[in-house]
Amino acid sequence: MKLASLLERIEYECLQGSTDCDIEAVVYDSRKACPSCVFICIKGAVSDGHAYAADVCAKGASAIIVSDDVTVPENVTVIRVPDTRYALAFVSAAWFGYPAEQLKTIGITGTKGKTTTTYMVKSILENAGHKVGLIGTIEAIIGETHIKAANTTPESYVIQEYFRKMADAGCDAVVMEVSSQGLMLHRTQGFIFDYGVFTNIEPDHIGPNEHRDFDHYLSCKAMLLKQCRVGIVNRDDEHFDRIIEGHTCNLETYGFSGKADLIAEDPVMVTGKGYLGISYHLKGLMDFKVEIDIPGKFSIYNSLTAIAICRHFGVSEENIIKALRAAKVKGRIEMVKVSDEFTLMIDYAHNAMALESLLTTLKEYHPHRLVCLFGCGGNRAKSRRYEMGEVSGRLADFTIITSDNPRFEDPQEIINDIKIGIDKTTGKYIEIIDRKEAIAYAIHHGEPGDIIVLAGKGHEDYQEIKGVKYPMDERDLIADILAEDRKNQADHI
């Protein structure tokens, strides 16, 4: 492909050479530089691609895209742009033949709800006969292929590569999580989302390597409403007016507010043998009763978001209702049936804010006991341990403290830190370092009407100890425990 074709949708200045040169690869990692490639100098948190300009030219790069001055051989074309990350998105889109134009693109941002909502949307649309790709925190899904995720929102080149593969696999739509970092770093440039969704916003991801303050975090997330054709926003969010400020899309809203376009009324908590759910009546642009096998008010918001999107695809009420009942997300309030007497679930809540939200929601179901099993990761801020201990001690009736990715720390030391937090409360607890033993204890001591939460691991299928990730999936641990119980019972007959 000619360099000029890759640059056709961006503003640039050719400082040296010609844009008529042939390009055989688009590269933004200097280690992958090859003959006849165009290398895009990205400024990262750790290194700056401009520092490797001479190296990639020595490897045969035909062109280099920069925002700062570099010194390279005269036979290499040099293109200057205002922002190389922004340019990478458009160059990548051109390289893969603008695949987003062959798909209906759905982007979902927000502090909470992104992951669950993407799977709900995928479930509803596929139930109605669409073929849907997915990009998110857990994985990317392209047809039958599942690719583990490294970032919630991958680099723009990877997004365009996935879009290309989805279009070639026959997908007609893609739903993806859009992080504030992804928006800030222009990973979702190079195309316009058909539908952009803003679920909610709370202070999060604020720190030296993320956002300097809440205002910056909000402004980055709100960028989505300037990069989509139809914007769908939670009308109940207290920051609603700031979220929609300067939007360039057609706006739709959802929520409990009578001002919303899709309104949830009359929520009712649903309980059954080994599961929890919620139902409500949908009013406004659509009118029918909804029931979901996922508990909590936030499940209503997630389903409203999914319905708001799928309405644009002409999905019938019958298909929406059926698909919402079937939608499940690995590690997000994922119920695992072990008994008709009590409910056991797996959830990714791995910080105090998420754990407090989860436990507060579950207490609304008035369990006999709310039991919380969790640990904290090693080589991370100790404050998280104190805070999570305090939250569980305050909200759960009983806490089981165990291990969760100790990394290079002593698991017992991590547990001791958690106990500092829990000792600020009157909460009862037990400590069991081995996670499988801890889960077995929870199951064997489950009482009728209990809700037991295994928190922190969620979709993760490993335990990281001293630099090694050992296979460990809580679903497998539960299956092993139940199998061992059956064997022991048989041995005693």
Res. 209: pLDDT tops 80: no
What is the C-alpha separation between 367 and 451, in angstroms, rounded?
Answer: 6
Last residue of one domain, picked from the residues 298, 326, 354: 326
CATH code, domain with 298: 3.40.1190.10
Residues 109 and 88 placed together within one structural domain of the fold? no
Residue 204 has pLDDT above 70, yes or no: no
**Domain that residue 70 falls in:** 3-95
Give the integer Cα–Cα distance in Å for 57 and 78: 11
Q: Measured between alpha carbons, how far is residue 466 from residues 43, 170, 171, 433, 470 in Å? A: 31, 43, 41, 16, 10
Is residue 72 located within the same domain as residue 107?
Answer: no
* Ranges 52-56, 147-151, 309-313: which has the least confidence: 147-151
pLDDT score for 68: 95
> What confidence tens digit (pLDDT) does each residue in 350-383 have?
999 889 999 999 999 999 999 999 999 999 889 9
pLDDT of residue 385: 95
pLDDT digits (tens, 9 = 90+) for 230-260: 999 999 999 999 999 999 999 999 999 999 9
| Domain identity same for 369 and 283 | no
What is the average per-residue pLDDT within 12-39? Answer: 96
416 in the same domain as 285: no
Q: What is the pLDDT of residue 208?
A: 54
Question: How many C-beta atoms lie closer than 10 Å to residue 288's C-beta?
Answer: 12
**Number of Cβ atoms within 10 Å of the Cβ of 66:** 20
Q: Is the distance from CB of 38 to CB of 10 less than 8 angstroms?
A: no
Total domains in the chain come to: 3
Instruction: Place 214 in a pLDDT band, splitting at 50, 70 and 90.
Output: confident
Last residue within a domain, chosen from 290, 309, 326: 326
Q: Which of 326, 343, 362 is the last residue of a domain?
A: 326
pTM: 0.89
Residues 288 and 322 in one domain: yes
pLDDT mean over 185-210: 82
Looking up residue 443, the CATH number of its domain turns out to be 3.90.190.20
Q: Are residues 312 and 263 in the same domain?
A: yes
What tens digit of pLDDT does each residue of 307-321 get? 999 999 999 999 999
Q: 174 with 287, same domain?
A: yes
- pLDDT of residue 286 exceeding 60, the answer is yes
pLDDT, greater one: 327 or 92: 92
Does residue 190 share a domain with residue 131?
Answer: yes
**341 shares its domain with 451:** yes
- Residues 405 and 443 occupy one common structural domain: yes
212 pLDDT above the threshold of 70: no
> Reduced to 3 states, what is the DSSP secondary structure of residue 82?
coil
Same domain (yes/no): 30, 123? no
Under the banding of pLDDT at 50, 70 and 90, the label for residue 457 is very high
- How many Cα neighbours within 13 Å face the side chain of 298? 20
